[in-house]
Amino acid sequence: MLDLWIMRLGHRPSRDKRVTTHVALSARALGAKGILVSTKDGPLETNIRSVVERFGGDFAIETGIDWRRRLMDFEGTVVHLTMYGMHIDDAIPKIPEGPLLVVVGAEKVPAEVYQRADLNVAVGNQPHSEIAAMAIFLDRFTDGEGLRRQMEGKLRIVPNERGKTVVEISR
Ligand code: SAM
C-alpha cells in the first residue's frame, strides 16, 4: 500500500458534510492510507470508521488536526490540488517515491499552503470539485492500481453484471 495521505482543509461540518464524506470514501477506495481533516467532526469519523469496519482496509481518519503543524512537519512530498497549479500530466513524473500528502481545500486555501507544497497541481485549469480532482489525481498517480486492491472486511461485493451480490465473510 502506498504511503499516501489526504489532507482536507477548511471543512465546515454543517455545510461540507457530504462533500468531505465523499472525499474520505473516495480516498479510501482509490488507495489512500487515510485522511486528515482540519476541523473536528465526530460524526464524520464515526461514519467513515463504520464503512471501514464493514468493507475493510485500514483506512485512518483524524479530524480537528493542527493542519499547519502537520503540513509543515510532513516528511515527504506535499501535493496541493488547485486549478492554478501545473498540469497533472506534467506534475506526476516529478513526484519522487516516498510518503505523499495530497491537500484539497473547501473554501479559500491560505497562501502558505501554496508555498509549502512541493507541487501545486491542477487537474485542468478550470474550477470543479475536490472530489473529482482528488479522484483523478489518485487514479492517474496509482495507474489505476488503487481501484484494483482487495480490502478484507466483513462484507465483500462480488462484481455482477446485473443485481447486487454481497457476501458476508466469517472469520
Ligand atoms: N474557491 C476556492 C479557492 O479559491 O481556493 C476553491 C474551492 S474548490 C470548490 C475546492 C477545492 O477543489 C480546491 O481547494 C481544490 O483542492 C479542488 N479543485 C477544484 N478545482 C480544481 C482543479 N481544476 N484542479 C485541482 N484541484 C481543484
Residue 34 Cα, ligand 1 centroid: separation in angstroms? 20
**In whole angstroms, what is the distance from residue 53 CA to residue 168 CA?**
12
Q: C-alpha angle 121/11/141, rounded to 5°?
A: 30
> From the CB of 128, is ligand 1 less than 6 Å away?
yes
The band of 64, judged by pLDDT with boundaries at 50, 70 and 90, is very high
Average pLDDT, the chain: 96
pLDDT for 143 equals: 96
Domain ranges of the chain: 4-168
The residue to mutate among 8, 80, 128, 141, having the most atoms of ligand 1 within 8 angstroms of its beta carbon, is: 128
117 lines ligand 1 (CB under 6 A): no
With beta carbons less than 8 A apart as the criterion, state whether 10 and 36 touch.
Answer: no
Place 170 in a pLDDT band, splitting at 50, 70 and 90: confident
Check if the beta carbon of residue 8 is closer than 8 Å to that of residue 104: yes
What pLDDT is attached to residue 22? 98
User: Top-level CATH class of 4-168?
Assistant: alpha beta
Instruction: State residue 155's pLDDT score.
Output: 94
**pLDDT at 1 (0 to 100):** 77
Q: Are 10 and 106 in contact (CB under 8 A)?
A: yes
Statement: residue 150 has pLDDT above 90: no
Share of the chain above pLDDT 90, in %: 92
Angle at 97 between CA 121 and CA 75, to 5 degrees: 80
The answer to whether residues 26 and 54 touch, using CB atoms and an 8 Å cutoff, is: no
- Output the residue whose Cα is nearest ligand 1's atom 15: 82
pLDDT for 82-132, tens place per residue? 999 999 999 999 999 999 999 999 999 999 999 999 999 999 999 999 999
Q: Is 83 in the pocket of ligand 1 (CB under 6 A)?
A: yes
Residue 81 predicted with pLDDT over 90:
yes
C-alpha–C-alpha distance, residues 60 and 85, integer Å: 28
pLDDT at 156: 92
What distance in angstroms lies between residue 127's CA and the mean position of ligand 1's atoms? 6
User: What integer pLDDT is reported at residue 89 of this predicted model?
Assistant: 97
**Taking residues 68-88, what's their average pLDDT?**
98
CA 104–ligand 1 middle distance (angstroms)? 7
Q: Which of 71, 81, 86, 87 to mutate to test the pocket of ligand 1 (most atoms within 8 A of CB)?
A: 81
pLDDT at 36: 98
CA 137 to chain centre: 10
Residues 6+ apart with CB under 8 A from 83: 122, 123, 124, 125, 126, 127, 128
Edge-first strand listing for the sheet containing 100-104: 60-63, 34-37, 4-8, 100-104, 77-87, 119-122
Residue 113 CA, ligand 1 centroid: distance in Å: 13
Over residues 64-69, the mean pLDDT reads: 98
